[in-house]
Amino acid sequence: MALVNPHGKEKKLKPLLLSGSELEEAKSYAKTLKKLSMTSRETSDLIMMGIGAFTPLEGFMGKNDWRGVCDNFTMEDGTFWPIPITLSIDKEMAADVKIGEDITLLDLETSEIMGIITVSEKYSIDKAYECEKIFKTTDTEHPGVQKVMAQGDINIAGKVKVLSESYYPTKFKDIYMRPLEVRKIFEEKGWSTVAAFQTRNPMHRSHEYLAKVAIETTDGVLIHQLIGKLKPGDIPANVRAVAINTLIDKYFVKNTIVQAGYPMEMRYAGPREALLHAVFRQNYGCSHLIVGRDHAGVGDYYGPFDAHKIFDEIPKNALELKPFKMDWTFYCRKCDGMASTRTCPHPKEDRLVLSGTMLRKLLSEGQEIPDHFSRIEVLAILKDYYASLSKNDKVDVKLNKASRGEI
């Protein structure tokens, strides 16, 4: 059997990242154009288009696509898409932008040339409307709402050429992979059914359990961790990678797991973001997405299983990928093992509920971690990371020691 098709009507990956002489010519041309600095979210979205993860998108969305995605999960041509992928500018710059014009796109933080957009449209939107539709709230305490409300007043749309992804393969060279590269690994392993496990945290026992349940019914699992920008307090990707590799080496059967990183920035959009995770995981070759409790959520903005329900609200043919809807999982002292509400008959006082938020809190405050919360080898790496923060030591040195078993 073959892997699932990439998303979209053409059923083939559409990476927009240039290479070779075409890239060099575009870089020279870009230096002659008007410049636009993008936010970190816009930059990461551009790179996702560049590597083909956002197939079949060819650029930033116009107003009809924006409206269709907000209202009906579909772009103007009928393509299923759950979250607007847009580029904004302020009113002053918008007045100077002409339809048909090429503009160089820069990363705001580094000023690196990232791409070129050919402007096909400029339009205003109702930001509060987008937030209500996508995040189910207009509360500016929500990190995703904050970013939408802070963006420019005018969106510009158009096809893009992507000229760089250099930050990610340089900083995350061991785990950063494009969809074509991941698909090749799956094909070499002879896999056709693959479950994606989304994470922005080191994996605790509940995460491990979910991955192992998926392995029982698929050829393997892609542990796919986010390496884009996170919110303050989240554990850095290089720390997570070492912890996850240690877990894989010691607690999973060989050749059942692939770990990779992807360059998107979290929106914390809960159910809508679960659908976006499904779209680009299909592009990576995954047939299933593990959807657990409060997938891609933040705070108390979403119900614990809203991300399960939303897959039942979209058209049946919207995606080839299917969700693995996982129940609330925990360690049960009476069962003496990992369990879920569907398998454990014991009361809540016998259950140790696990969460990444709780683990980060306990570690950052130097509190004792309850037994069975996480594997001891993983905890050793995470404790050392937090100790290095308080001592102002270099994290990478400590991580190398932990990964060699010297701690």
- pLDDT, tens digit, for every residue of 303-327? 999 999 999 999 999 999 999 999 9
Contact, 271 vs 82, CB < 8 A? no
The residue assigned the tokens 């809190």 is 361
3-state secondary structure the chain: CCCCCCCCCCCCCCCCECCHHHHHHHHHHHCCCEEEEECHHHHHHHHHHHCCCCCCCCEECCHHHHHHHHHHCECCCCCECCCCCCEEECHHHHCCCCCCCEEEEEECCCCCEEEEEEEEEEEECCHHHHHHHHHCCCCCCCHHHHHHHHCCCEEEEEEEEECCCCHHHHHCCCCECCHHHHHHHHHHHCCCCEEEEEECCCCCHHHHHHHHHHHCCCCEEEEEEECCCCCCCCCCHHHHHHHHHHHHHHHCCCCCEEEEEECCCCCCCCHHHHHHHHHHHHHCCCCEEEECCCCCCCCCCCCCCHHHHHHHCCCCCCCCCEEEECCCEEEECCCCEEEECCCCCCCHHHEEECCHHHHHHHHHCCCCCCCCCCCHHHHHHHHHHHHHHHHCCCHHHHHHHHHCCCC
Residue 395 has pLDDT above 90, yes or no: no
pLDDT tier, 405 (very low <50, low <70, confident <90, very high otherwise): very low
Ranking 73-77, 166-170, 176-180, 381-385 by mean pLDDT, the lowest is: 166-170
Catalytic hit among 67, 178, 183, 200: 200
* Domain extents in the chain: 20-169, 171-403
What pLDDT, on a 0 to 100 scale, did the predictor assign at position 402? 41
pLDDT tier, 26 (very low <50, low <70, confident <90, very high otherwise): very high
Residue 403 has pLDDT above 70, yes or no: no
Residue 392 has pLDDT above 80, yes or no: no
Catalytic hit among 155, 201, 238, 283: 201
- The whole-model pTM stands at 0.93
For residue 101 the two structure tokens come to 């014009």
Q: How many CA atoms lie within 13 A of 262 on its CB side?
A: 31
171-403 sits in which CATH class? alpha beta
The number of beta carbons lying within 10 Å of the beta carbon of residue 339 is: 21
Mean of the per-residue pLDDT values for the chain?
93
Q: Is 201 marked active-site? A: yes
pLDDT tier, 355 (very low <50, low <70, confident <90, very high otherwise): confident
20-169 sits in which CATH class? alpha beta
Per residue in 225-259, pLDDT (tens digit) is 999 876 677 788 889 999 999 999 999 999 999 99
Q: Is 255 marked active-site? A: no
Residue 49 has pLDDT above 90, yes or no: yes
What pLDDT, on a 0 to 100 scale, did the predictor assign at position 399? 42
What pLDDT, on a 0 to 100 scale, did the predictor assign at position 167? 87
